[in-house]
């Protein structure tokens, strides 16, 4: 059986943007940004996306396209080592952990979308009456399990249809819809009374605040950058494994990161004005995963035209979440198809059943949900990306450079060697550093030793590829 590839270049870009743009941009980003001081966070986050996210994304692309395999098989076949093969299984586990909590939130969103549509059609505005109480019901018990399974089933249908007819076609329809609706919503939100305060909170750049908070926001900003670009789980390795050799990975990767960032910033331009219009200061909405839902649903219930806006908003979020969840489900599915010759249908059914159970555990137990969605995901993704980058820098080495240059233009080719130093030395050290700060290391103490280690590693790689 020949392996599928993307039918078109834009198909790959949109699928990857679809993977990147998701709950991370619309639900997690405003929430994490608000908790970490708004604009100060935004500045550090954008820096990390550019300096760590883009090169890291290209690292995953290089592995995937070189091997034409999903992560586990790719690491084994490129290195010829069973140790790397075993490490590859880590990504299958990460993907399952991710999609387990992700499809629970996807289920909440789906529920809000269904309810908003029903209200729009005139059949009873359930959540508009009491947003806070309503969320309690949505996020607990059998209701949460049911919508989680429904969301997962939608994901599985798309993945079942395959790379071209499912993922590519699906994201080609979903992503433009998300962009258009989101721009419309941002313009509308800009006309609301809280817009000016929201922009000040979110966009005003203040160098002094950034400097003061730099080390504090580093960990969350890095975690969010990886999450939003879908890095560290191997979705981008998997998607790049369906890319032809004549495409410039550097160009595509930069485009994908830019589009993803634009959507993230745009989502903030929708969410913050709405919250401020209601007099809710985002930093005070609490840390709970549901704060944003309660705040937004409250805004929709009070603002003129709220039902229509709510329907559009939750449609955007549902589509964005779906185009991400398919990229996560594709990892274990591609693993079974590539490595064990399992039929796609059987693989989707098998992995789907496992996630139906693990997701239900997350849906029923808020403590497990909180742990998986927060700490565990940050750790898995950071460790996962570190593994990929060490592999690119130290196992692939020159091969990575060749792969990077294949199909690339002059500028990208010129940047390929500095890129290899970055992914082989600077980025892994930086990622380990952020991981240690997550575990409580004093960032100020660790900073200079980290810089020294990174520099030393860069010298060794330079000596190797010269």
Binding positions for ligand ILE, rule: CB under 6 A = 19-20, 22-25, 98, 227-228, 230, 324, 327-328
The nearest distance, CB 226 to ligand ILE, in angstroms, is 8
- Which residue's CB is nearer to ligand ILE, number 23 or number 119? 23
CA dihedral sign, ordered 26, 273, 297, 33: positive
Contacts of residues 161-167 at CB distance under 8 Å and 24 or more positions apart, as own/partner, are 162/4, 162/344, 163/4, 163/5, 163/6, 163/242, 164/4, 164/6, 164/7, 164/11, 166/326, 167/15, 167/18, 167/326, 167/327, 167/330
User: CA-CA distances (angstroms) from residue 463 to 248, 388, 397, 418, 454?
Assistant: 27, 21, 11, 13, 14
- Which residue's CB is nearer to ligand ILE, number 49 or number 458? 49
CA atoms within 13 A on the CB side of 191: 7
Distance from C-alpha of 54 to C-alpha of 62, rounded to nearest angstrom: 12
Nearest position to ligand ILE, beta carbon: 24
Distance from C-alpha of 133 to C-alpha of 110, rounded to nearest angstrom: 18
Q: Check: CB of residue 90 under 8 Å from CB of residue 282.
A: no
The nearest distance, CB 319 to ligand ILE, in angstroms, is 12
- Which two structure tokens, joined as six digits, stand for 75? 């690491």
Q: How many other CB atoms are there within 10 angstroms of residue 414's CB atom? A: 12
**What does the angle CA 455 – CA 459 – CA 465 come to, to the nearest 5 degrees?**
140
- Which residue's CB is nearer to ligand ILE, number 64 or number 393? 64
The nearest distance, CB 2 to ligand ILE, in angstroms, is 28
- Which residue's CB is nearer to ligand ILE, number 25 or number 450? 25
The nearest distance, CB 434 to ligand ILE, in angstroms, is 17
The nearest distance, CB 19 to ligand ILE, in angstroms, is 5
- Which two structure tokens, joined as six digits, stand for 420? 């290899």
Listed in sequence order, the residues at least 6 apart from 168 whose beta carbon sits closer than 8 Å to its beta carbon are 6, 7, 8, 11, 12, 14, 15
- Which residue's CB is nearer to ligand ILE, number 20 or number 461? 20
Relative orientation angle of helices 207-228 and 377-390, to the nearest 10 degrees: 80
- Which residue's CB is nearer to ligand ILE, number 15 or number 299? 15
The nearest distance, CB 417 to ligand ILE, in angstroms, is 29
Distance from C-alpha of 416 to C-alpha of 410, rounded to nearest angstrom: 10
The nearest distance, CB 266 to ligand ILE, in angstroms, is 14
- Which residue's CB is nearer to ligand ILE, number 25 or number 139? 25
- Which residue's CB is nearer to ligand ILE, number 25 or number 358? 25
The nearest distance, CB 282 to ligand ILE, in angstroms, is 19
The nearest distance, CB 355 to ligand ILE, in angstroms, is 14
- Which residue's CB is nearer to ligand ILE, number 253 or number 306? 253
Distance from C-alpha of 176 to C-alpha of 183, rounded to nearest angstrom: 11
């Amino acid at each position: 059986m020949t392996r599928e590839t993307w039918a078109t270049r834009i198909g790959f870009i949109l699928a990857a943007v679809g993977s990147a743009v998701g709950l991370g941009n619309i639900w997690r980003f405003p929430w994490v940004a608000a908790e970490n001081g708004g604009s100060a966070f935004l500045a550090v986050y954008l820096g990390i996306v550019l300096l760590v996210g883009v090169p890291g994304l290209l690292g995953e692309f290089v592995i995937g396209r070189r091997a034409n395999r999903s992560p586990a098989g790719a690491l084994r076949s490129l290195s010829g080592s069973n140790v790397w093969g075993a490490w590859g299984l880590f990504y299958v586990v990460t993907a399952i952990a991710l999609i387990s909590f992700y499809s629970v939130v996807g289920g909440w969103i789906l529920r809000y979308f269904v309810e908003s549509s029903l209200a729009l059609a005139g059949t009873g505005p359930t959540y508009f009456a009491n947003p806070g109480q309503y969320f309690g019901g949505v996020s607990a018990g059998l209701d949460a399990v049911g919508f989680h399974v429904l969301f997962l089933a939608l994901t599985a249908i798309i993945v079942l249809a395959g790379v071209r007819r499912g993922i590519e076609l699906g994201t080609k329809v979903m992503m433009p819809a998300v962009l258009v609706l989101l721009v419309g919503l941002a313009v509308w939100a800009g006309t609301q009374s809280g817009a000016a305060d929201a922009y000040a909170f979110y966009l005003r750049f203040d160098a002094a605040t950034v400097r003061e908070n730099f080390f504090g926001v580093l960990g969350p900003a890095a975690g969010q950058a990886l999450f939003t670009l879908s890095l560290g789980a191997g979705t981008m390795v998997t998607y790049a494994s369906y890319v032809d050799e004549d495409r410039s990975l550097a160009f595509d990767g930069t485009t994908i990161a830019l589009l993803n960032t634009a959507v993230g910033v745009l989502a903030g331009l929708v969410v913050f004005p709405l919250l401020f219009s209601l007099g809710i200061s985002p930093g005070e909405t609490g840390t709970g995963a549901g704060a944003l839902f309660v705040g937004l649903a409250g805004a929709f219930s009070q603002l003129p035209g709220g039902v229509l806006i709510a329907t559009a908003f939750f449609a955007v979020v549902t589509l964005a979440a779906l185009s991400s969840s398919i990229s996560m489900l594709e990892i274990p599915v591609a693993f079974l198809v590539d490595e064990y010759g399992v039929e796609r249908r059987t693989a989707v059914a098998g992995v789907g059943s496992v996630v139906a159970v693990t997701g239900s555990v997350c849906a029923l137990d808020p403590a497990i949900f909180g742990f998986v969605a927060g700490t565990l995901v940050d750790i898995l993704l950071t460790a996962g990306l570190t593994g990929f980058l060490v592999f690119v820098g130290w196992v692939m080495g020159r091969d990575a450079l060749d792969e990077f240059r294949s199909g690339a233009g002059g500028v990208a080719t010129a940047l390929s060697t500095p890129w290899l130093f970055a992914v082989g030395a600077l980025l892994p050290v930086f990622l380990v550093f952020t991981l240690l700060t997550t575990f409580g290391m004093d960032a100020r103490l660790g900073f200079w030793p980290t810089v020294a280690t990174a520099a030393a590693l860069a010298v060794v790689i330079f000596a190797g590829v010269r």
